[in-house]
Each structure stands twice: as structure tokens, then as C-alpha cells.
């Protein structure tokens, strides 16, 4: 031993403490500030972030991680991947935002989830474009940091392998050709950085963590062989995150100067590989031990023990302590959270606090004592653990007492349900929410600020429910909903009513573009406090003879869209939420609400990056759903909704949920989906969305009838439901009414043409 420890950051949040970044963007888009003012403000933010990192004592500070929208979009533009529909703008900033946001004439580039996080990137469209180096963005940021602040940063690039893996518009057989076109341009970027004085670069290759093929490995080798040959003097830190890497021995043998590994989310796998195979002594090991994706304070004693173990396995290598991934995924600083309980506050760590944890650990590893910081850390965590997080035995008992299976199999429940509900064939319904108009949002804000009394707000919500029950009856829908007017967000609403959740004031993270989310914090055991949705559901049902669905958010979605506990497995938290939701289901049944929808839109996005871990995740997800929904009468009809269409690969799990009815978003990929039903039988109620709610266009009766016809070629008519493909909260009122009228008409005509009884 005896090597020195340094540290680095892999990326800093863009938003600013008060979301200044978001405001600047939106002001610029709204033409409230000029381009010059916008650029000036962005530069100030960028430099401010660098300064903060320097003040925190970070040795390797990243440059080029800052973006006006998204770093993958930055990279696409840097290499000239501008789809034809966006070409011809004189100003590259306009091109940039047009690609991200679309124009009247050109639909935006597709956006998709960044691995298994809640960040979304813009998908590059490769097509026939021959790449060129348009502008060296990391170079710009590198020089700026040097000139303005005299900081010698470590520029960050997204690696060519990952960039191409995340792009679309080419066939996978062309991967190597595309890579060959790109490599010389990357070399140029690196050369220019080197000429400007950069000695290290961080090249992010998160695509090294999902399951890789041998062929993929060859592309990676080719990439880094090229860099080593063309720019031998540049030191490359090949950075991975979100999971353990595949082909550990091959990756660590690549001709790069450093390898960065995630020892939080890939702890087991990376640590086992490191201990088994060791680490090349002439390379630097990036040790990601501080969780870049969650908001909990690290136990520094525990981390120190881990670092020592890592040191033993790689005694000769230089080591850099760092977050597990970019800090893009956590809020900026906890110091603004003045409203939180002090004990909880003591256990939190946002980006700025994480940098301090990193420097403290570095100090410790280099022989410093950092005693005060360590003491404070241990005390805060101890009080937190003693106050909260004392798993009560009751919870386990409650769970064990809950059935995870309905009393009767579907075919038998169906008889009771048919008898009870007397629905027409091809019943029509919606997914839950109706337009969240300005009026609705203003009323809620007034209520939150105390300008509207709880009674007045409740009156307002009731008024909306009544208005929409009448509208739905008029339209002729068969199964109604109350409209979700009392909810701002489908997770926050439940989080605020369950025990165990806290809400920060400034805990924002970027979701896509200027859109931010403030995930609830699950800090303690989740338990049921009191009925959450019964009032509105009961009221809605009192207004009509048609069934009104009760509407809940499912356990896995609540978990996936929150900052979860890190002291117990995710599945445990999912089960706790499930038990609490089962109590809500009970309360609804007791209030006479016997048709209940439990939404699980986020199940798919929570799939582990590694295919071999899918089953375990899906198994507990299914179990959580079933714990929440099995303790009901056979005649009670459980619905669920998922908003994605690529579910072919998890249809078994969807079946295993054992919901009586599922609605799935499909209108944008109908063909593919129908095909999958040719091979996989689905034998419970199912609604494939017959129109796309993401567009303001009003679908015609004909096109929806057509959708229904195609679906009924592979699905039995007595199990098929007719509904839009997701909730309608983002649509306006006239659009919603006209579309639903057409949908109901399409259902009528479909019944007639099949000589089914019409209601």
C-alpha cells in the first residue's frame, strides 16, 4: 500500500439551487430574455458550479457535463447528427432546441429513459448522415474553466460505444461502419483537448453494464485501441456506472489509464470481480462509493471499511474516490430544507453534501483523521436509525396475514362479476384522470397556500366530479371514473397521505429538458394512516347508477418514483406499500366501491439493467401487486393500467398480476402488440388503448373501429375493453369530450357489426 488517494466528481446537477437553470431556459423559450442574456446566465451558472466543486476540494472536476438540455443531444449536435427536418436554421442554438422540443413542422426527436433512472435523453437519429465535427463542446468548457477560474478540469465525453448503442436510425449490422466513421472525430476532439492542456478525460460508457455480447466487446476494444494508438499521451478514465461491468478482465485490460466502477449499484458484482481478478497496477481505479442516485447520507465508517477492502484488492493502483455516477440524479443541496424534521435532515445528503463526504473519505484514506466530520456523521445516522427505521414486527405479521391470491381463479370470478356488473360486451371506460385545467390547478394552489379553506376546496373538487360524471353519462361510457381532480401527481398524492414519506421543498431533479420532478422521500416504514380516496370515490358513485372505478397507484410505481430507503431491500418497501394499499382497497370495498383500478405505469421502467435479474424483480413486483389487490370479494373487479407498449417480453408477469382487467397503452404500436397476442394467449379482461392521448388530434370513429377490428382478430370479444391509451389529464375539455364521443360510437358500431347486444 502507500498509494495516495485523490477524488473526483463525475457530473454536477444542472438545475441550480433554486432551479435558476430551468427558469433561464423557459424565459428564453418564452422570449422573455434575449439569447445573449440567456447565454450569459448559463455561463454564470456553469462557472458557479465549477467553483463550488473546487471549494469542496474535488481534485478532478468535470467540464462538459453542463448542458442546455441533455448531454446526448449535445453529443449528437457536436458530430452533426441533425435530422433533415431540422436542417436549415441559421442559428445552431435554434436547431438544438428544435430537435429537443419539436416545431410546428418538425416533430421533436424521440426521448427515452436514461438506463434505469428517471432522466430522459434525446435519442440521436443516425440515418444516412455522415458525421462531422461541428463544435468541440468539451473543449469550449475546458478552456472556459481554465481562463475564467484557472481550474484545470477533466472534460467528460459520452463514449462512442454508448453513443451509438443509444442512437437509432441504423441497422445493428451497420454498427461497426458507424463506429468507424465516428472514431476519427472522437480522436480529433481528444487531440484538441490535449493541445489545450487537458491531461485527463472522462469517457462515460454506461452501455458496458447491460448484458453485453462478445461482438460488443470487440467494438469497445477497437474503440480504445484506436484512442491509445492515435493519442497515446491522453489519459482516459473509462467510466461506467449503474451496475457491475460485464467482461471485467477484458475491460480492465483495455489500453486506458483508468477505469471507473460503481461500488454502490454494482457493488456485489464489481467487488467480487475485483477481488477475484485484481486490478492492473499501472491503471487508476475510479472508486464510486458515494451513491449518486439516492439522497441518503453515507455511513462513512462503512465506506471506509469498503475502501480498505478495495485497497487490499488493488494495492498498487492509484485510486480516486468518487460518486457512483454523475450527481445529475440528486438535488443540489439540503441546506435549503428548513421545514424537515431535524433527525431526517441529519440523514440526508444531496450533491453538495456528497462532495463533502467524498473529500472527508479522501482525507481519511490519506491518513488524516477528519474526526469531527466522522463523529457528526456517525451520530446523525445513529439517531436516525433509532428514531425511524425500526422495522416493527407488526408489519411482517400484517403481510403474512394477507392473501397473495384471489379466492377464486379468474374464470370463476368472471361469472360473479358478469352477474354483478351487467356490462355490455366491449365495455367502454377511461384510464382515470380528466383534464387538469388551469381552474383545477389554481384551486389546488390556493388550497395549499391556505387561501382556500379545506371545505371550499372539497366543494370545488366535488363540483368537478359532478360535472364530469354528468359528461361521462352524456357521452355514454359504461364504466366511469371520478376524474382525479384532487391529485396533482399520482405518487405524491398517496405519499402525502401514507406514513413514512417526507417531502422536500427544493429536492428537484431533472427529468427531461427543463422538466423537473421532486420525488417523495420514503424514510420510514410505510403504513396506512386513514382512507385516502374513499371520499371522492363514494361521492362520485352516489351520483350515478353506472359503476365508478376506485383509483389507486400501485406499490411498485410508488416505489420507483420515490427516493427509496437504502437500509432495506427495495422489495421490502414495495411490500410495505402494498400492505398499506390493501387497507385502502378494503376501505373502498366497505364503502361500496367494488371496481378498483390499481395503476402500475412504472413497473417496466424499473426493470434491472441486467437481463438475468429481471425475474427476481418481476416476481416481487407481481407479489406486491397481488398483496395489494387479492383480499377482495370474487365479484370485486380489479383493474390495472400500464402505459407502455413494449411488454411482449414480460407478458407472463402481466398475466401473473391476476388483475381482472388490464389496460395497456398501444395506440402507437398497435401492429406489434397484436402480433404478440398471436403467440401469447391473454385470458383475462384487456383494453388496448384505441387512441393516443398524447396528441391533441381527435381520432375518428373509423380509425378506432379499425383498431378494435384488428385487436379482435386475436383477442376474444367477451374480454375486450375499449379505452383511450392513458389518462386524459393533459388534454383540454373539448378535445376530451369529442374524442370520447367518437370512441363510444366506435364501440357501438363494433358491437352492431358483430351482432353483439348494444347497451
Nearer to Zn ion, 324 or 723 (CB): 723
Which of the stretches 90-98, 122-130, 149-157, 725-733 binds Zn ion when contact is defined by CB under 5 A? Answer: 725-733
By C-alpha distance, which of 644, 552, 631, 632 is closest to 599? 552
| Least distance in angstroms from the C-beta of 420 to ligand GLN | 23
- Which residue do the cell numbers 358513485 mark? 541
Cell numbers representing residue 494 in the block: 398517496
Residue 599 touching ligand GLN (CB under 6 A): yes
Cα angle: 618, vertex 610, 287; to 5 degrees: 125
Which of the stretches 312-320, 359-367, 429-437, 632-640 binds ligand GLN when contact is defined by CB under 6 A? Answer: 429-437
- Which residue do the cell numbers 391473454 mark? 682
Which of the stretches 115-123, 298-306, 431-439, 456-464 binds ligand GLN when contact is defined by CB under 6 A? Answer: 431-439
Could you tell me the end-to-end alpha-carbon distance of the chain, in angstroms, rounded to an integer? Answer: 80
| Least distance in angstroms from the C-beta of 451 to ligand GLN | 26
Residue 45: strand pairing partners: none
Q: Can you tell me which of 159, 432, 520, 606 binds ligand GLN, judged by CB under 6 A?
A: 432
Helix (H, G, I), strand (E, B) or coil at 482: coil
Residue 244 touches which of Zn ion, ligand GLN, none (CB < 5 to 8 A by kind)?
none
Per annotation, catalytic residue among 277, 329, 482, 694 = 694
CB 461 within 8 A of CB 493: no
Residue 240 touches which of Zn ion, ligand GLN, none (CB < 5 to 8 A by kind)?
none
Mention every residue, 6+ apart, whose C-beta is less than 8 A from residue 218: none
Nearer to Zn ion, 481 or 726 (CB): 726
Q: DSSP of 17-73, one letter per residue? A: TT-HHHHHHHHHHTTSS-HHHHHHHHHHHHHHHHHHHHHHT-SB-EES---SS-HHH
Q: Can you tell me which of 361, 551, 558, 581 binds ligand GLN, judged by CB under 6 A?
A: 551
Site residues (CB under 5 A) for Zn ion, limited to 584-623: 601
Q: DSSP of 659-711, one letter per residue? A: -SEEEE--TTSHHHHHHHHHHS---SEEEE-SS-TTS-PPPPHHHHHHHHHHH
Residue 325 touching ligand GLN (CB under 6 A): no
Site residues (CB under 6 A) for ligand GLN, limited to 361-420: none
| Structure letter (DSSP) for residue 756 | P
Nearer to ligand GLN, 641 or 751 (CB): 641
Q: Can you tell me which of 166, 581, 602, 726 binds Zn ion, judged by CB under 5 A?
A: 726
Q: How many CB atoms lie within 10 A of CB 305?
A: 11
By C-alpha distance, which of 116, 125, 197 is closest to 166? 125
- Output phi, psi for 252, to 5 deg: -70, -15
Site residues (CB under 6 A) for ligand GLN, limited to 696-735: 726-727, 729
In the annotation, is 694 catalytic? yes
Residue with CB nearest Zn ion?
643
| Least distance in angstroms from the C-beta of 41 to ligand GLN | 34
Nearer to Zn ion, 258 or 724 (CB): 724
CB 558 within 8 A of CB 624: no
Residue 555 touching ligand GLN (CB under 6 A): no
Nearer to Zn ion, 9 or 429 (CB): 429
Cell numbers representing residue 507 in the block: 429536492
Residue 431 touching ligand GLN (CB under 6 A): yes
Residue 606 touches which of ligand GLN, Zn ion, none (CB < 5 to 8 A by kind)?
none
**Host H or E run for residue 5:** strand 5-7
Site residues (CB under 6 A) for ligand GLN, limited to 643-662: 643
Residue with CB nearest ligand GLN?
727
Cα angle: 172, vertex 173, 177; to 5 degrees: 100
CB 159 within 8 A of CB 204: yes
Site residues (CB under 5 A) for Zn ion, limited to 627-646: 643
Residue 294 and residue 456: Cα distance in Å, rounded?
38
By C-alpha distance, which of 314, 317, 347, 284 is closest to 59? 284
Mention every residue, 6+ apart, whose C-beta is less than 8 A from residue 329: 117, 118, 119, 292, 293, 509
Tell me the angle at which helices 20-29 and 35-56 cross, rounded to the nearest 10 degrees: 170
Residue 527: strand pairing partners: 499
- Which residue do the cell numbers 379553506 mark? 453
| Least distance in angstroms from the C-beta of 693 to Zn ion | 8
| Least distance in angstroms from the C-beta of 557 to ligand GLN | 8
Q: How many CB atoms lie within 10 A of CB 751?
A: 19
Which of the stretches 281-289, 405-413, 427-435, 520-528 binds ligand GLN when contact is defined by CB under 6 A? Answer: 427-435
The footprint of ligand GLN on this chain (CB under 6 A) covers a number of residues equal to 13
Residue 178 touches which of ligand GLN, Zn ion, none (CB < 5 to 8 A by kind)?
none
Residue 297 touches which of ligand GLN, Zn ion, none (CB < 5 to 8 A by kind)?
none
Residue 641 touching ligand GLN (CB under 6 A): yes
Residue 729 touches which of Zn ion, ligand GLN, none (CB < 5 to 8 A by kind)?
ligand GLN
| Least distance in angstroms from the C-beta of 643 to Zn ion | 3
By C-alpha distance, which of 20, 43, 29, 126 is closest to 80? 126
Residue 408 and residue 65: Cα distance in Å, rounded?
55
Residue 278 and residue 178: Cα distance in Å, rounded?
34
Residue 60: strand pairing partners: 8
Print the binding letters for residues 465-504 with ligand GLN: x by CB under 6 A, - otherwise. -------------------x-----x--------------
Q: Can you tell me which of 601, 685, 687, 689 binds ligand GLN, judged by CB under 6 A?
A: 601
| Least distance in angstroms from the C-beta of 720 to ligand GLN | 20
Residue 520 touches which of ligand GLN, Zn ion, none (CB < 5 to 8 A by kind)?
none
Provide the binding-site residues for ligand GLN, judged by CB under 6 A.
431-433, 484, 490, 551, 599, 601, 641, 643, 726-727, 729
Provide the binding-site residues for Zn ion, judged by CB under 5 A.
601, 643, 726
The residues annotated with a catalytic role in the active site are 694
Amino acid at each position: 500500500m502507500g498509494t495516495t488517494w485523490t477524488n473526483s466528481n463525475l457530473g454536477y446537477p444542472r438545475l441550480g439551487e433554486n432551479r435558476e437553470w430551468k427558469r433561464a431556459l423557459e424565459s428564453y423559450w418564452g422570449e422573455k430574455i434575449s439569447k445573449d442574456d440567456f447565454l450569459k446566465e448559463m455561463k454564470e451558472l456553469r462557472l458557479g458550479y465549477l467553483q463550488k466543486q473546487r471549494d469542496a476540494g474535488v481534485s478532478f472536476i468535470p467540464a462538459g457535463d453542463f448542458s442546455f438540455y441533455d448531454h446526448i443531444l449535445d453529443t449528437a449536435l457536436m458530430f452533426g447528427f441533425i435530422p433533415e427536418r431540422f436542417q436549415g436554421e441559421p442559428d445552431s442554438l435554434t436547431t438544438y432546441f428544435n430537435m429537443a422540443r419539436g416545431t410546428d413542422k418538425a416533430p421533436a426527436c424521440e426521448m427515452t429513459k436514461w438506463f434505469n433512472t428517471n432522466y430522459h435523453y434525446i435519442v440521436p437519429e443516425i440515418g444516412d448522415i455522415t458525421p462531422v465535427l461541428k463544435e468541440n463542446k468539451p473543449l469550449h468548457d475546458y478552456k472556459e474553466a481554465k481562463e475564467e477560474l484557472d481550474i484545470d478540469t477533466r472534460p467528460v465525453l459520452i463514449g462512442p460505444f454508448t453513443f451509438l448503442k443509444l442512437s437509432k436510425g441504423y441497422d445493428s449490422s451497420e454498427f461497426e461502419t458507424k463506429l468507424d466513421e465516428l472514431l476519427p472525430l472522437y480522436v480529433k476532439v481528444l487531440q484538441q483537448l490535449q493541445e489545450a492542456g487537458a491531461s485527463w478525460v472522462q469517457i462515460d460508457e454506461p452501455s458496458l453494464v447491460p448484458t453485453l455480447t462478445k461482438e460488443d466487446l470487440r467494438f469497445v476494444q477497437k474503440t480504445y485501441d484506436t484512442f491509445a494508438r492515435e493519442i497515446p499521451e491522453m489519459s482516459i478514465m473509462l467510466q461506467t456506472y449503474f451496475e457491475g461491468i460485464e467482461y471485467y478482465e477484458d475491460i480492465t485490460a483495455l489500453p486506458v489509464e483508468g477505469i471507473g466502477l460503481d461500488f454502490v449499484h454494482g457493488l456485489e458484482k464489481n467487488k467480487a470481480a475485483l477481488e477475484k481478478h485484481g486490478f492492473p497496477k499501472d491503471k487508476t481505479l475510479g472508486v464510486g462509493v458515494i451513491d449518486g442516485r439516492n439522497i441518503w447520507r453515507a455511513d462513512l465508517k462503512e465506506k471506509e471499511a469498503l475502501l480498505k477492502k478495495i485497497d487490499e484488492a488493488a494495492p498498487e493502483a492509484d485510486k480516486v474516490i468518487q460518486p457512483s455516477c454523475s450527481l445529475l440524479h440528486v438535488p443540489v443541496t439540503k441546506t435549503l430544507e428548513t421545514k424537515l424534521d431535524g433527525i431526517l435532515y441529519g440523514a440526508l445528503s444531496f450533491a453538495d453534501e456528497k462532495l463533502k463526504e467524498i473529500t472527508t473519505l479522501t482525507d481519511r484514506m490519506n491518513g488524516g483523521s477528519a474526526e469531527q466530520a466522522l463523529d457528526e456523521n456517525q451520530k446523525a445516522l445513529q439517531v436516525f436509525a433509532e428514531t425511524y427505521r425500526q422495522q416493527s414486527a407488526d408489519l411482517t405479521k400484517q403481510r403474512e396475514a394477507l392473501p397473495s391470491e384471489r379466492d377464486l381463479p379468474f374464470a370463476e370470478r368472471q361469472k360473479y362479476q358478469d352477474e354483478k356488473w351487467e356490462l355490455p360486451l366491449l365495455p367502454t371506460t377511461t384510464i382515470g384522470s380528466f383534464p387538469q385545467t388551469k381552474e383545477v390547478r389554481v384551486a389546488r394552489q390556493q388550497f395549499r397556500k391556505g387561501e382556500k379553506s379545506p371545505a371550499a376546496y372539497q366543494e370545488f373538487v366535488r363540483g368537478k366530479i359532478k360535472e364530469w360524471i354528468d359528461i361521462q353519462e352524456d357521452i355514454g361510457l359504461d364504466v366511469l371514473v371520478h376524474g382525479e381532480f384532487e391529485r396533482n401527481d399520482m405518487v405524491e398524492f398517496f405519499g402525502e397521505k401514507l406514513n413514512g414519506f417526507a417531502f422536500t421543498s427544493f429536492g428537484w431533479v431533472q427529468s427531461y429538458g427543463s422538466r423537473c420532478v421532486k420525488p417523495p422521500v420514503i424514510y420510514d416504514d410505510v403504513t396506512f394512516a386513514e382512507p385516502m380516496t374513499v371520499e371522492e370515490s363514494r361521492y362520485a358513485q352516489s351520483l350515478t347508477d353506472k359503476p365508478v372505478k376506485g383509483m389507486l397507484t400501485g406499490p411498485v410505481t410508488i416505489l420507483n418514483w420515490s427516493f427509496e430507503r437504502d437500509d432495506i431491500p427495495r422489495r421490502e418497501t414495495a411490500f410495505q406499500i402494498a400492505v398499506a394499499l390493501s387497507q385502502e382497497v378494503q376501505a373502498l370495498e366497505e364503502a361500496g366501491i367494488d371496481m378498483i383500478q390499481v395503476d402500475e405505469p412504472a413497473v417496466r421502467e424499473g426493470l434491472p439493467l441486467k437481463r438475468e435479474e429481471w425475474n427476481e424483480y418481476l416476481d416481487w413486483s407481481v407479489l406486491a401487486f397481488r398483496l395489494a389487490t387479492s383480499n377482495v370479494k370474487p365479484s370485486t373487479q380489479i383493474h390495472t393500467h400500464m402505459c407502455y407498449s413494449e411488454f411482449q417480453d414480460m407478458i407472463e408477469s402481466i398475466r401473473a398480476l391476476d388483475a381482472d382487467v388490464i389496460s395497456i397503452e398501444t395506440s402507437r404500436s398497435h401492429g406489434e402488440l397484436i402480433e404478440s397476442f398471436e403467440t401469447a394467449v391473454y385470458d383475462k379482461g384487456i383494453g388496448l388503448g384505441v387512441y393516443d392521448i398524447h396528441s391533441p388530434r381527435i381520432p375518428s370513429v373509423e380509425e378506432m373501429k379499425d383498431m378494435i377490428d384488428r385487436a379482435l382478430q386475436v383477442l376474444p370479444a367477451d374480454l375486450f375493453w375499449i379505452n383511450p391509451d392513458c389518462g386524459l389529464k393533459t388534454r383540454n375539455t373539448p378535445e376530451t369530450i369529442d374524442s370520447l364521443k367518437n370512441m363510444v360510437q366506435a364501440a357501438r358500431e363494433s358491437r352492431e357489426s358483430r351482432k353483439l347486444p348494444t347497451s
